[in-house]
A = this chain, B = another copy of it.
């Protein structure tokens, strides 16, 4: 069927989509979400069909930006549109809905079509839901990891040993990576770290690092930086490493499910060529993993999947019931990390965690006394020197000082209304307040904790300060502060946690850090 292209001037989020008038669609025996082949001057793409009753006229086809660009279409240009068969990947997805185990080839087809934009949101959502319900076995997780590597870029660095570090996230203020990368690179190992920005948290590692240096490097620039300094901290989003992940996350996030956690993490490590990996699994109330038993099970999965992918994995189950260090929010966290690495301030839990994780990597690489070595590198300022090298290699100011880093000027400090001990902190509420204050978009927004768990506090002493760049956002954060229970001060824990009077709604905040 020949139709006139109507350029919609809209993106379809990377998907290959056209809109047909309902009559034309019927004429082609096409329903919504079927596929058409759309051709122009010998070029041809497959597109998913939406139908419209009124606003796309008979005889025209509404074209999103992606198709316009692939076929170089102009407004009113004539294109050939015909029914196309379903991609075989759709049949494989349907098989999964009947619980069939997918082969490597089948998984590859699905991932390839997802990356090409050939699968509709309905198909991807259904696939991800089925994976969530049935679970992935190790074979499928391996297949998915490999397929995700193969459909993206891979980093090529000529070093015998490449190490990496990952945290599954869930703890606000976790700036450990800003210390681990320079410690490890200073030790002579190579650590090409790619990180994510925050999705639902107040700061991802990429957001924190960006306060100190540019992080939006492309693959070539990343290779160059690592070649010079043995380390980097860049944003994964512009590297196109395992890009299928972004597509699945778009669906997982609104559903608050995460069946592809392991493959998505491991594929990115494989794509940078990692041989040794330490995975941080923060554990406790208010994190993703509530109990040590669950953490150990997850650790086992990581290690087994690592074996299949030729990556040696060790996991660190870490204490996650309060923020790491005293700060939450990109600028506050970058400043704290810089103060610690320059020896201007001590944050015992941050230093402990960073040297624990670094120590594990050092010992995995064959060194003795990993933790001590890491501490030594930190104390002797070799880590600081390395961080400044990395900052320079990525195009930042290597002489940056903590006091150069600006934080929000709109602040509000919460004071203790009684004396006692800081008995508990609510991670999710802290994260939510920091987000409402503007983090991660407003880099200067966040929270400073004057007290941490177990600290003694006198009446009227400050407990925490909220930072924002704009008063409007500070107010939003304060509204949330009032609504939520952020922390508890007292002599001892009270026995009653809360009373359930109505049927509770199962509401799980979704914290994903891949």
Contact = CB atoms under 8 A, between A and B. Distances in A.
A29 B10 CA distance: 22
B129 A436 contact: no
Highest count of chain B CB atoms <10 Å: which of A26, A29, A200, A253: A29
A19 interface: yes
A262 to B, nearest CB: 18
Highest count of chain B CB atoms <10 Å: which of A13, A26, A27, A122: A122
Interface in A430-486: 435-436, 441
A365 interface: no
A52 B14 CA distance: 10
A125 B121 contact: yes
A505 B87 CA distance: 11
Interface in A19-40: 19, 26-27, 29, 31-34
A250 interface: yes
Interface string A237-268: 00000000000001101111100000000000
A508 B200 CA distance: 40
A31 B10 CA distance: 18
A308 to B, nearest CB: 23
A419 interface: no
Contact of A91 (B13, B435, B507): B507
A53 interface: yes
Given A10-B62, A97-B129, A254 B123 contact: yes
A160 interface: no
Contacts of A251: 122
Contacts of A121: 120-122, 125
A56 B133 CA distance: 36
A261 to B, nearest CB: 15
A297 interface: no
A88 interface: yes
B254 A26 contact: no
